Structure 1
Amino acid sequence: MKKVKITVKRIVVHQDLIDEYENPIENACNLAEGQVFVANGWRKPEEMCDSAWETMSPFVMTLAHGGEDIYSGWMKNKKSAMISCNDGFRPVSFLLEALDEDADLRRTLSGNTTPD
């Protein structure tokens, strides 16, 4: 299984929709354009928005397991995907890229290192 690089490419704000429909909330999105995360196999990177992760995790898993050419010719780089979170007010576009580096799966869910 490989690591997957996740880059925040664009954040769009639909202020007209926010003004008309959204209940005011604080810190709706703490991401910034250019921000980079690395998913270690199936693990959600720290600081990654839970909602965005729920949307992208199937694509991350596919790329981490060697999947290529998602949606048959959609991307120039077959080991990548461009996806967005499902926030209709502030959609964030992410570039996912499979890395050549193997994921470190020696850690358990508790964070302890397992023996080699």
Structure 2
Amino acid sequence: MKQVRITVLRKQLYPDLVRQYLTEPPEECVCDFFQEGDSFLYTGGAEMPEGFCPWAWIDLYRTVSALSCGATYTPWQREEGTSVVCCTDGIRPVSFLLEAVESRPS
């Protein structure tokens, strides 16, 4: 099994949707779990990396698990063993780069 590096590519916020659908002001609605460039390592099992957002983990786990088992998303993704996915928060989504990496020997 491979490990999977999870890197935060981008955080988005749609202030118009915040104003229309949420009760908080837009400046309070930015995702506070992640910063762009944050990196996490999935090492196996169903364990979420420490410090990861539980809601985003539910969204990413299927792809993380598949990549760790050798799945590929080519020809849709340019590189073998990578995938770009996002959490399903429609108002403040976060995009992640998932990269399968060789596990280090124990």
**What TM-score, normalized to structure 2?**
0.86
1:1-22 CA deviation, whole Å, 9 max, x = no partner? Answer: 1110000000011011011101
Pairwise CA distance, 1:29? 3.2
Task: Answer whether contact 2:18 2:29 (CA < 8 A) is retained.
Answer: no
Query: Of the candidates 57, 60, 63, which is equivalent to residue 59 of structure 1?
Result: 63
Q: Report the structure number with the largest CA radius of gyration.
A: 1
1:16 aligned residue = 16
The CA distance in 1 between the partners of 2:41 and 2:70, in whole Å, is 16
Superposed counterparts of 1:1-116, under 5 Å: 1-24=1-24, 28-42=31-45, 43-68=47-72, 70=73, 72-102=74-104
Aligned 8 A contact 2:11 2:31 in 1: no
For structure 2, the 5+ residue unaligned runs are: none
Matching residue's letter, 1:39: Y
Partner deviation per Cα, 1:64-85 (whole Å, 9 max, x = no partner): 11111x2x41111120100000
Work out the number of aligned pairs and report it: 102
Consecutive unaligned residues of structure 1, counting only runs of 5 or more, are: 105-116
Task: Kindly provide the amino acid, as one letter, of the partner of residue 7 in structure 1.
Answer: T
- Judged with a 3 Å threshold, the aligned counterparts in structure 2 of structure 1 residues 103 and 82 are, in CA distance, closer, same or farther, namely farther
Secondary structure at the aligned position of 1:18 is classed as helix
For residues 65-109 of structure 1, the C-alpha deviation after alignment (integer angstroms, 9 at most, x for no partner) is 1111x2x411111201000000111110000000011597xxxxx
Structure 1 segments of 4 or more deviating over 2 A?
23-29
Once the 2 structures are TM-superposed, how far is the Cα of residue 23 of structure 1 from its aligned partner? 2.8
State the distance in 1 between where 2:29 and 2:83 align: 30
